[in-house]
């Protein structure tokens, strides 16, 4: 149970003299929504506040325990606080229909389907959401009603640059001057460009807008935040604040090896934090033992850790879930095939791919592990040291630059300055890296006919459909294979056949990562690819600990694990959080046999 005492506030830097607009941004699962909600509650004590969510995996309504929806709703439990949830998926659907509706029935169905797919990616969702909340940034009448407007997500620098580009986007697309992975969505913008210009100016004005970068004390997450900062700084948005959320308290490390390991890893990540982040005002928020749902929990987030957790010493969490070894047994039974690991950044795809590859090789099965791990530490650890295992590394930056150069030299050769600017921005899309990296992977895929090929990352279903629809994917694989025609079984057909390809979705036992994994599964199904299984990584519930805080966190995982097991996955495995970083053959195999 929880024993509540007084609530002395933490010294929160990002709350000092806040401007009208506060934007929280960061990777999924770092706590953006919770911090935005807690900020709104804190500021509501001083005046009228409006909390806006544009996060595709948003759970603002769930956090407050009320239904909000796409209209301004008073939160009766908090005086002077109102909320609005912009459903980005619904906004994107309306957005697509504005473009596709007029040509449906006039153009061939295959053409309409291609247009719809071009408009089904993450860029469309983000641009559609920005189209919705632009009015909140420029509506002076609304500003008179609310002292502060808090957003639980922010547009990326890529989206903002797209909106800043000159010229007529529609004509650019209609003339076929570029691959419409990101430019296509711009064809449906209906608001005046002047309004977008005013919105972008508001974002770049520190007297009106403050962007708060939210991270966890993890190397990959901090690197991502640093990239976000640099991307936004290029376009003049540079007045950021940094929040390191969920820091493990040293007080919980006594006589508990797992707690000590978590604390040490976090401190090491903070010590190695990118230098650019050290220049930012930074707040540290401690990890809480409870789910941040409900008013009482949210009020605790921005305060000192004042709730003392009382746990009976025999309290434990027992999870009856398959281990990773069970999935590997099924995979190994086929003797060869393509194994693809997918999931959002920071969930451990590379490590798990290496673990499975090592185990298959240990069983005497020839295996090729291909990784995009930027640190390449797994590659260095494994190269030449594991019998039956071949390891290769693909450098995403090198492959993306090669692809960009190829497109600019061909499609861009005949473009005017305006068209070239549009094409160059389109090539900064996240889809571009997926396409470039997967073209590099395609050189290796054919090896799966006689051995296991394990890939530690893969493009989304949306990108695969774009590649398949344009023929670029098939042509690239055929060219790399030295053939002039397409295979009898195309690469897309191979990915759709679970006998040849097994797609494993990696997630964490937390609300947002599971929601993002569900969205990924739906994305793949749209491409006709059924995920073979799920892996829940770094589970505290599957680990051994006596820490009161970790025991409470383990309890919070149970619902997410149950949802994966009974609602989302045909088969799944639960992998425990280890005391030591799983690098090297022995520790990697301990993920298989914990």
Which sequence positions are flagged as catalytic? 29, 31-34, 55, 512
Locate 29 and state its tokens: 């699962």
Phi-psi region of 273 (alpha: psi -120 to 50; beta: other; left: phi over 0): beta
Between CA 528 and CA 493 the distance in angstroms is: 9
Alpha carbons 287 and 552: distance in angstroms, whole number: 11
On the 0-12 / 13-18 / 19+ scale of CB atoms within 10 A, 360 is buried
Taking each helix axis as running N to C, give the angle between helix 430-445 and helix 122-138, from 0 to 180 degrees, rounded to the nearest 10.
Answer: 170
Token pair listed for 93 = 């659907």
Contact between 163 and 196 (Cβ < 8 Å): yes
Torsion, Cα of 158, 161, 163, 166 (10° steps): -140
Q: Which residues pair with 539 in a beta bridge?
A: 576
Contact (CB, 8 A) for 64 and 37:
yes
Question: Tokens 């408009």 identify what position?
Answer: 119
DSSP 3-state of 217:
coil
Structure tokens at 232: 């936004």
Distance in angstroms (rounded) separating the CA atoms of residues 260 and 582: 16
Sequence-distant (≥ 6) Cβ neighbours of residue 424 within 8 angstroms: 408, 412
Q: For the purposes of burial, counting CB atoms within 10 Å of the CB of 195, is it exposed (0-12), middle (13-18) or buried (19 or more)?
A: middle
Strand-pair category, 240-247 with 209-216 = parallel
Strands ordered across the beta sheet of 367-371: 389-393, 367-371, 452-455, 337-342, 501-508, 533-539, 572-576
Residue with tokens 């529609």, as numbered in its chain: 170
Q: Are strands 282-286 and 240-247 parallel, antiparallel or unpaired?
A: parallel
Q: Report the distance separating Cα 149 and Cα 52, nearest Å.
A: 7
**Cα–Cα–Cα angle for 524, 525, 527, nearest 5°?**
70
| Secondary structure in 3-state letters for 218-259 | CHHHHHHHHHHHHHHHHCCCCCEEEEEEEECCHHHCCCCHHH
């Amino acid at each position: 149970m929880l024993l509540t005492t007084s609530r002395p506030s933490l010294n929160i830097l990002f709350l000092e003299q806040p401007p009208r607009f506060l934007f929280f941004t960061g990777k999924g699962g770092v706590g953006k929504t919770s911090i935005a909600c807690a900020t709104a509650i804190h500021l509501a004590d001083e005046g009228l506040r409006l909390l806006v969510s544009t996060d595709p995996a948003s759970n603002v309504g769930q956090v407050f325990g009320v239904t909000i929806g796409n209209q301004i709703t008073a939160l009766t439990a908090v005086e002077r606080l109102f909320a609005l949830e912009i459903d980005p998926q619904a906004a994107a659907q309306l957005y697509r229909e504005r473009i596709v509706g007029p040509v449906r029935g006039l153009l061939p169905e295959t053409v309409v389907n291609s247009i719809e797919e071009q408009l089904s990616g993450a860029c469309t969702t983000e641009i559609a959401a920005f189209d919705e909340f632009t009015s909140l940034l420029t509506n002076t009448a609304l500003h008179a009603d609310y002292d502060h407007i808090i957003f639980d997500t922010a547009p990326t620098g890529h989206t903002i640059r797209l909106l800043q580009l000159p010229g007529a986007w529609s004509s650019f697309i209609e003339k076929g001057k570029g691959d419409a992975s990101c430019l296509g969505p711009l064809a449906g913008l209906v608001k005046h460009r002047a309004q977008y210009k005013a919105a972008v100016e508001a974002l770049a004005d520190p007297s009106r807008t403050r962007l708060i970068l939210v991270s966890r004390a993890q190397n990959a997450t901090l690197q991502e935040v640093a990239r976000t900062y640099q991307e936004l700084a290029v376009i003049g948005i540079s007045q950021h604040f940094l929040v390191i959320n969920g820091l493990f308290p040293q007080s919980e490390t006594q006589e508990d090896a797992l707690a000590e390991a978590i604390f040490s890893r976090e401190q090491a990540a903070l010590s190695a934090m990118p230098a650019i982040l050290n220049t930012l005002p930074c707040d540290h928020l401690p990890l809480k033992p409870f789910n941040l749902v409900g008013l009482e929990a949210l009020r605790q987030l921005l305060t000192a850790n004042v709730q003392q957790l009382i746990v009976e010493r025999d309290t434990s969490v027992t999870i009856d879930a398959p281990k990773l070894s069970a999935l590997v047994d099924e995979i190994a039974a086929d003797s060869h095939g393509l194994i693809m690991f997918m999931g959002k950044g920071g969930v451990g795809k590379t490590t798990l791919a290496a673990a499975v590859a090592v185990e298959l090789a240990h069983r005497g099965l020839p295996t090729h592990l291909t990784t995009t791990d930027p640190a390449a530490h797994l590659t260095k650890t494994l190269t030449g040291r594991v019998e039956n295992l071949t390891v290769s590394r693909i450098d995403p930056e090198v492959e993306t630059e090669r692809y960009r150069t190829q497109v600019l030299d061909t499609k861009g050769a005949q473009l005017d300055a305006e068209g070239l600017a549009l094409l160059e921005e389109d090539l900064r899309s996240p889809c571009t890296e997926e396409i470039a990296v997967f073209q590099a992977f395609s050189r290796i895929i054919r090896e799966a006919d006689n051995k296991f090929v394990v890939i530690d990352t893969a493009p989304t279903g949306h990108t695969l459909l774009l590649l398949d629809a344009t023929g670029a994917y098939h042509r690239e694989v055929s060219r790399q294979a030295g053939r002039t025609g397409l295979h009898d079984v195309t690469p897309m057909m191979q990915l759709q056949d679970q006998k040849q390809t097994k797609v494993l979705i990696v997630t964490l036992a937390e609300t947002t990562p599971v929601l993002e994994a569900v969205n990924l599964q739906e994305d793949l199904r749209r491409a006709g690819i059924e995920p073979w299984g799920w892996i829940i990584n770094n589970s505290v519930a599957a680990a051994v600990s006596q820490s009161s805080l970790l025991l409470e966190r383990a309890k919070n995982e149970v619902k997410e694990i149950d949802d994966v097991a009974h609602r989302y996955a045909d088969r799944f495995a639960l992998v425990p959080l280890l005391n030591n970083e799983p690098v090297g053959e022995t520790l990697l195999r301990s993920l298989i046999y914990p």
